Amino acid sequence: MPKPEEPRLKSLGRRLTLFALFLACGLSVFLLSYFSPDLSIVNVGMPIAFLIIALGLRRRRLPLHSQVFFAFFVFSLIWFTRHLILDSAFVQPFYKTLGGNVAAQLIDSTVVIGLIVLFTIASRAKLSSIFLSKGDLKFGLIVGSTVFIIFYLLAAVVAIAMAGMRLDSFLALTPFLLVLALANGFKEELWFRGLFLNKYEPVLGFRLSNSLQALIFAASVVEAEFSSILLGIVVVSFFLGLGLGYLMRRTGSLFGSALCQAGSTIPIFLGVISALK
């Protein structure tokens, strides 16, 4: 007779196989962008391939798996679309000024959030499926606001006490800093977690789902200019992703995790814009 554990092990093996497949799908988007940075038929072909797979799985009556590949279609389409826009000759000059950086971030966030919402509505799914809902708003706001304020104060202390920035200069940068961080926070939470968590979970379970989104999120920060501290950035991003995923699931909303994510980027954006005018 088979042991009682065997069905469970078989189920775990199936889930781990799907985990590896979905991880490969996510990483392939970044790899293709790295090896083929300019828009080409290959770049366009990846979102189309994900869409074809999603439609094929739907016709085979595998709706849960179809939803995951549809999410990868939206994810990869946005990845290549935003790079096409942000790397364009029209947007690149924006990064030379404070106001231009804000404008570029708002364009980026509008493209990402707008496309995700439009495709969610087009697929006849509820906005709550991507965590655009009130959820446990009180708990989310308490945690998110606390983390946001801590990072803001930490950035102020480091900039003023250690880097020698004047208080009035820091305060003058604050409006730009807040818009950049908040816009980026909501964009990334919706794109990397809100879009995927409810699609992964029915086929992977929450723990594997949360680990998967955190791995893909960490992989997205890999850039050549960070080579000297790349490992540290990837590790921090992975554990940050895990925590934000748990908070999103706990609250049933992206608002709390978006505030946390926004707060965590305040020191980064401060470093970027402090030398601009």
Confidence of residue 140 (pLDDT cuts 50, 70, 90): very high
Is-contact 165 159, C-beta < 8 A? Answer: yes
Per the structure, the count of domains in the chain is 1
DSSP category for residue 88: S
Model confidence at 174: pLDDT above 80: yes
Both tokens assigned to 26: 């996510």
Burial label, 29 (beta-carbon count in 10 A; 0-12, 13-18, 19+): buried
Q: What is the mean pLDDT of residues 102-123?
A: 96
Confidence of residue 135 (pLDDT cuts 50, 70, 90): very high
Both tokens assigned to 220: 């997205």
SS (H, E, C) 127-156: HHHHCCCCCCHHHHHHHHHHHHHHHHHHHH
Model confidence at 35: pLDDT above 80: no
pLDDT, mean over the chain: 90
Please tell me the distance from the alpha carbon of residue 254 to that of residue 108, in angstroms, as a whole number: 18
The answer to whether the Cα torsion of 220, 226, 227, 230 is positive or negative is negative
Q: Please report, to the nearest 10 degrees, the dihedral formed by the alpha carbons of residues 147, 149, 154, 157 taken in order.
A: -170
Q: What is the mean pLDDT of residues 84-112?
A: 92
Is-contact 263 184, C-beta < 8 A? Answer: no
pTM, rounded to two decimals: 0.91
DSSP category for residue 42: H
Domain range enclosing 151: 5-273
The answer to whether the Cα torsion of 106, 226, 46, 257 is positive or negative is negative
Model confidence at 45: pLDDT above 90: no
- Residue 228 vs residue 209, higher pLDDT: 209
Q: What is the mean pLDDT of residues 223-242?
A: 77
Angle between helices 206-219 and 197-204 (to 10 degrees): 130
Range from 21-25, 160-164, 217-221 that averages highest in pLDDT: 21-25
User: Tens digits of per-residue pLDDT, 8-20?
Assistant: 545 888 999 999 9
Model confidence at 167: pLDDT above 70: yes
The pLDDT of residue 178? 96
Q: What is the mean pLDDT of residues 246-257?
A: 97
Is-contact 233 221, C-beta < 8 A? Answer: yes
Q: What is the mean pLDDT of residues 104-112?
A: 96
The pLDDT of residue 259? 98
Confidence of residue 66 (pLDDT cuts 50, 70, 90): very high
Both tokens assigned to 80: 């290549």
Is-contact 155 266, C-beta < 8 A? Answer: yes
Residues 6+ apart with CB under 8 A from 54: 66, 67, 69, 70, 72, 73
The pLDDT of residue 233? 84
Q: What is the mean pLDDT of residues 118-141?
A: 95
Both tokens assigned to 108: 């980026």
Q: What is the mean pLDDT of residues 250-255?
A: 96
Confidence of residue 5 (pLDDT cuts 50, 70, 90): very low
Please tell me the distance from the alpha carbon of residue 240 to that of residue 232, in angstroms, as a whole number: 12
pLDDT more than 90, % of the chain: 73
pLDDT more than 70, % of the chain: 90
Instruction: Mark 182-204 as b/e (b = at least 16 C-beta within 10 Å).
Output: bbbbbbbbbbbbbbbbbbbbebb
Residues 6+ apart with CB under 8 A from 150: 263
Model confidence at 196: pLDDT above 60: yes
Q: What is the mean pLDDT of residues 69-84?
A: 93
Least confident of 139-148, 205-214, 216-225: 216-225
The answer to whether the Cα torsion of 86, 87, 91, 97 is positive or negative is positive
